[in-house]
Amino acid sequence: MIYQVQIKVMPLKDLLDPQGKAVLGGLHNLGLSGIQDVRVGKNINLQVEAADEAAAVAMATEASKQLLANAVMEYFEVVVL
Amino acid sequence: MIYQVQIKVMPLKDLLDPQGKAVLGGLHNLGLSGIQDVRVGKNINLQVEAADEAAAVAMATEASKQLLANAVMEYFEVVVL
C-alpha cells in the first residue's frame, strides 16, 4: 500500500534560529507587529510503499535519521496523512 | 491572546521539485527503495498575538502572501495549533 507521510524538521527549541529572526524582522517591517516569534524548518512529504502504516513510519523515521534531519541541530516529527 | 500558528509552504503540485528529486535519489542510494516520491517545502511556526483565532489566521495569511510564500511556485496552508 502507498502511504502519504509528512516529516516536519525544525530547529531544536534551545537553539537560536537566525533564519526565523530574519523573517521576524521582515514581518515587523511589513507592519505585522502582532507576530512575536518565528521558527523556520522544513516540511517534507513522502510517498511510501510499505506493507502497513508502522512500516511506512519506520521507513520515514530511518530517512529522517540518515538524511533529512541533523540531530545536532534539529528534531523531526513523522505523521501519516 | 497568543496563538501558535503553523504555516506549511510547499511547491505547487504541477511543478517539478528539484530538491525533492535530489532527496529521493539520496534515499534510494541509502537503500530506502520503498520511498517513491519526495517533495520538500518549508514549515514555519509563528507565535501570534491577536484578539481571536480568526485574527491570528488572518495575520499569518497576510505574512504568507507578503513574505513567506511565492505564489508563482508555492502554495501555503495555515493551521492554528
pLDDT computed for residue B15 by the predictor: 93
Q: What percent of chain B has pLDDT over 70?
A: 100
Q: Which residues of B touch A20 (CB under 8 A)?
A: 44
pLDDT in tens, A33-66: 999 999 999 999 999 999 999 999 999 999 999 9
Choose, out of A38, A42, A78, the residue to mutate when testing the contact with B (most B CBs < 10 Å).
A38
**How much is the pTM?**
0.91
CA A38 to chain centre: 14
Sort residue B66 into left (φ over 0), alpha (ψ -120 to 50) or beta.
alpha
pLDDT computed for residue B26 by the predictor: 96
Ordered by where they begin, the domains of chain B are 2-80 (3.30.1280.10)
Q: Which residues of A touch B47 (CB under 8 A)?
A: 35-38
